[in-house]
Structure 1
Amino acid sequence: MEVTPEGTPSPSQAFQGLKVLDFCWVAIGPMTTRYFSDFGATVVRVESVHRPDVLRQATPYGQGMPGINRSAYYANYNSGKLSLSLNMMESRGRELAVQLATWADVITENYTPGVMERWGLGYEDIQSLNPSVVMFSASMQGRGGPFSSHPGFGPVLTALSGHTHMTGWPDRAPTSPYGAYTDFLLPQLAIAAITAALDYRRRTGIGQHLDMSQLEGSLGFMATALIDFAANGRIQNRTGNLHPIFAPHSAYRCKGIDRWCAIACRNEEEWRQLCHVLTRQNLATDPRFYNMELRKRNEMALDVEISSCTQHMDASDLMHLCQSAGIPAGVVQNCEDLFADPQLTFREHYVFQNHPEIGRHAYDGHAFTLPESPPNYRPAPLLGEHTMQICRDILGMSEADVLKLTDDGVLS
Structure 2
Amino acid sequence: MMGTQLPLNGIRIADFSWVGAGPFLTKPLADHGADVIKVESRTRVDPIRSMAPFRDGVAGVERSGYFANRNTSKRSICLDLKDSRGRELALRLIAVSDVVVNNFSPGTMDRLGLGYDDARVVRPDVVYLEMPMMGTEGPHRDCRGYGLTIAAAGGLLGLSGYPDRPPVGTGTNYPDHVPNPLHGAVAVLAALRKRRRTGQGEYIELAQLESTVNAIGPAVVAAARGEPVGPAGNDDAVAAPHGVYPCAGEDNWCAMAVFDDNQWAATRLVLGAVDWAHHAQFDTVDGRRRDRADLDRLIARATVGWDADRLATALTTRGVAASAVRHADDLVGRDPQLRARGHWVTLHHPVMGPSIYDRTPYRFSATPGCLRTPAPLLGADSRDVCTQLLGLPDDTYEALEQQKVVG
Could you say which TM-score interval applies, normalised by the shorter chain?
Answer: over 0.9
Partner of 1:147: 140
5 Å-filtered alignment, 1:348-359, equals 348-359=342-353
Deviations 1:287-313 (A, max 9, x none): 442333332333222222111111100
What runs of 5+ residues in structure 2 fail to find an aligned partner?
none
Partner of 1:257: 250
Worse-matched range after superposition: 18-27 or 141-150:
141-150
Partner of 2:108: 115
Q: Give the superposition deviation at 1:337.
A: 2.0
Q: Give the superposition deviation at 1:244.
A: 2.8
Q: What is the distance in 2 between the residues matched to 1:376 and 1:175?
A: 35
RMSD (CA atoms)? 1.4
Task: Choose between structure 1 and 2 for higher RCO, CA contacts under 8 A separated by at least 6 residues.
Answer: 1
Partner of 1:96: 89
Match of residue 408, structure 1, among 388, 403, 406: 403
Q: What is the distance in 2 between the residues matched to 1:397 and 1:125?
A: 21
Match of residue 66, structure 2, among 73, 89, 99: 73
Q: What is the distance in 1 between the residues matched to 2:77 and 2:278?
A: 69
SS at match of 1:135: strand
The one-letter code sitting in structure 2 at the alignment partner of 1:208 is: E
Q: What is the distance in 1 between the residues matched to 2:194 and 2:280?
A: 63
SS at match of 2:168: coil
SS at match of 1:391: helix
Q: What is the distance in 1 between the residues matched to 2:12 and 2:231?
A: 45
Partner of 2:305: 312
The one-letter code sitting in structure 2 at the alignment partner of 1:385 is: A
Q: What is the distance in 2 between the residues matched to 1:225 and 1:41?
A: 37
Deviations 1:212-236 (A, max 9, x none): 0111111221010000111x21231
Match of residue 262, structure 2, among 252, 261, 269: 269
Pairing 1:224–2:218 present: yes
The one-letter code sitting in structure 2 at the alignment partner of 1:201 is: R
Q: What is the distance in 1 between the residues matched to 2:282 and 2:95?
A: 69
5 Å-filtered alignment, 1:23-42, equals 23-42=16-35
Q: What is the distance in 2 between the residues matched to 1:334 and 1:26?
A: 24
Q: Give the superposition deviation at 1:9.
A: 2.2
Partner of 1:5: none
Partner of 2:131: 138
Deviations 1:101-126 (A, max 9, x none): 11111111111110100011111111
Q: What is the distance in 2 between the residues matched to 1:376 and 1:338?
A: 20
Pairing 1:165–2:158 present: yes
Worse-matched range after superposition: 378-387 or 262-271:
262-271
Worse-matched range after superposition: 210-219 or 180-189:
180-189
Deviations 1:58-103 (A, max 9, x none): 0001111111111010011111111101111222111111111111
Partner of 1:362: 356
Partner of 2:208: 214
The one-letter code sitting in structure 2 at the alignment partner of 1:296 is: R
Q: Percent identity?
A: 35
Partner of 2:376: 381
Match of residue 193, structure 1, among 179, 187, 197: 187
Q: Give the TM-score, by structure 1 length.
A: 0.95
Count of aligned pairs between the two proteins: 404
CA contact (8 A) 1:84 1:386 kept: yes
Q: What is the distance in 2 between the residues matched to 1:126 and 1:72?
A: 33
SS at match of 1:251: strand
Q: What is the distance in 1 between the residues matched to 2:379 and 2:393?
A: 17
* Cα gap change, 1:58 to 1:106, in 2 (>3 Å): same
SS at match of 1:83: strand
5 Å-filtered alignment, 1:335-354, equals 335-339=328-332, 340-354=334-348
Pairing 1:234–2:230 present: no
- Shift >4 Å, 4+ stretches: none
Match of residue 394, structure 1, among 383, 389, 393: 389
Q: What is the distance in 2 between the residues matched to 1:260 and 1:251?
A: 6
CA contact (8 A) 1:10 1:373 kept: no
CA contact (8 A) 1:275 1:283 kept: no
CA contact (8 A) 1:47 1:85 kept: yes
Q: What is the distance in 2 between the residues matched to 1:90 and 1:73?
A: 30
Q: What is the distance in 2 between the residues matched to 1:107 and 1:288?
A: 60
SS at match of 1:396: coil
CA contact (8 A) 1:288 1:295 kept: yes
Q: What is the distance in 2 between the residues matched to 1:182 and 1:390?
A: 32
What runs of 5+ residues in structure 1 fail to find an aligned partner?
1-7
Deviations 1:341-362 (A, max 9, x none): 2222222112111101112111
CA contact (8 A) 1:272 1:284 kept: no
Q: What is the distance in 2 between the residues matched to 1:99 and 1:290?
A: 70
Q: Give the superposition deviation at 1:281.
A: 4.9
Q: Give the superposition deviation at 1:10.
A: 4.3
5 Å-filtered alignment, 1:174-189, equals 174-185=167-178, 186-189=180-183
SS at match of 1:295: helix
Pairing 1:53–2:46 present: yes
Deviations 1:284-340 (A, max 9, x none): 322442333332333222222111111100000000100111111111111122122
The one-letter code sitting in structure 2 at the alignment partner of 1:273 is: A
